[in-house]
């Protein structure tokens, strides 16, 4: 039997890269506020903080609306771990390399994520691909840069013969502004859902509860989240 033809791409159908972290949860809320049909995709890649994936369903349940469509899971564990380990995927101490890049950087990860997302979007007729990359307040990952995303959009559109729009609503927002965006989108209720149910800590710690949510409190991801929370709360008073 021939494969079913892909759905017609529609301008207002979106796919959100949804890891279960603060940024992607905010992106999901952002997309749900804009588009009448929103699907999500998550990636398993052997991350030490795979606990973040357990946060996806509770977040979707609490943020969901009639606009929320299916969730897709892609397992890239064999692919990425087969290429080598990093502090993101193995019990290696988190440090900064000589070139100033954290050793949590997984080479090619976000490029693969976007490629897989576009392959799903192609089949599902989703034109907008929404992702939480940010180069304002980040760890220096080159695959989070705006130029990288623009280049990926061009490559995917050429390679898949579509007009996908890669949207990164957090690109020019720091972590304080990301909390503020969540508040603008859903008020205290959404901030509380993200604070309680999203996961950021690289070490997968969900036993220590802080004002900003769960985490070890000392890894680079926790430090960014905590500093952003503190700045946002200070800006409110």
List residues binding Zn ion (CB under 5 A). 201, 203, 215-216, 219, 222
CA-closest candidate to residue 150, choices 122, 112, 111:
111
Would you say 216 or 227 has its CB closer to Zn ion?
216
Ramachandran category for residue 219: left, alpha or beta (phi over 0 → left; psi -120 to 50 → alpha): beta
Instruction: Kindly tell me which of 52 and 143 has the beta carbon lying closer to Zn ion.
Output: 52
Least distance from C-beta 114 to Zn ion, angstroms? 25
Q: Least distance (Å) from Zn ion to the CB of residue 213?
A: 10
Nearest distance in Å: CB 151, Zn ion: 31
- The H or E element containing residue 50 is none
Nearer to Zn ion, 123 or 210 (CB): 210
User: β-pairing, 165-167 with 209-210?
Assistant: unpaired
- Of 85, 83, 104, nearest to 95 by C-alpha is 104
Q: Output the smallest distance, CB 203 to Zn ion, in A.
A: 5
Which of 132/215 has CB closer to Zn ion? 215
Specify the 3-state DSSP secondary structure of 38: strand
Instruction: Kindly tell me which of 122 and 179 has the beta carbon lying closer to Zn ion.
Output: 179
42 close to 72: Cβ distance less than 8 angstroms: yes
Angle between helices 56-63 and 22-34 (to 10 degrees): 30
Give least dist CB 10 to Zn ion, A: 39
Strands 68-75 and 126-130: unpaired
């Amino acid at each position: 039997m021939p494969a079913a033809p892909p759905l017609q791409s529609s301008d207002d159908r979106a796919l959100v890269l949804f890891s279960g972290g603060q940024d992607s949860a905010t992106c999901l809320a952002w997309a749900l506020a804009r588009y009448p049909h929103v699907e999500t995709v998550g990636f398993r890649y052997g991350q030490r903080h795979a606990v973040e994936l357990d946060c996806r369903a509770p977040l979707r349940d609490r943020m969901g609306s009639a606009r929320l469509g299916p969730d897709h899971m892609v397992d890239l564990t064999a692919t990425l771990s087969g290429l080598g380990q990093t502090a993101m995927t193995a019990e290696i101490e988190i440090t900064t390399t000589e070139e100033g890049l954290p050793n949590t950087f997984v080479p090619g990860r976000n490029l693969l994520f976007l490629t897989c997302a576009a392959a799903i979007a192609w089949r599902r007729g989703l034109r907008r691909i929404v992702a939480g990359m940010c180069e304002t307040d980040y760890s220096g990952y080159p695959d989070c840069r705006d130029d990288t995303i623009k280049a990926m959009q061009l490559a995917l559109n050429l390679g898949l013969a579509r007009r996908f729009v890669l949207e990164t609503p957090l690109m020019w927002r720091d972590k304080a502004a990301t909390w503020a965006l969540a508040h603008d989108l859903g008020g205290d209720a959404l901030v509380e859902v993200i604070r309680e149910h999203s996961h950021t800590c690289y070490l997968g710690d969900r036993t220590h509860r802080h004002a900003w949510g769960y985490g070890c409190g000392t890894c680079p991801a926790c430090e960014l989240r905590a500093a952003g929370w503190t700045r946002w709360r200070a800006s409110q008073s």
